Structure 1
Amino acid sequence: MALALAVLRVLLGLFFALTGAAKLTEHLSAHVYAQMKAQFVQFADVFPLKDLGYQPDPGQYLQAVGWIELVAGFLLAFGPQLLREISNFVLTLVMIGAIYTLLVLKEPVATCAPAALCLGLLLLLNIRSRETRPHKDKYQ
Structure 2
Amino acid sequence: MFLYDVVTPAEIEEMFSLPEGSVRRDLRRSKFRQSEIRKSGATWLITLREAKRVYSDYEDKIQVKKDWNWVRNYIDSELNPVLKEEIADFLDDAPFDRIYELYLDGIEGAGIDDGEEYISFVEWFYRFKESAEEWEED
TM-score, length of structure 2 as denominator length: 0.27
Structure showing the higher helix proportion among its residues: 1
TM-score, length of structure 1 as denominator length: 0.27
Structure showing the higher strand proportion among its residues: 2
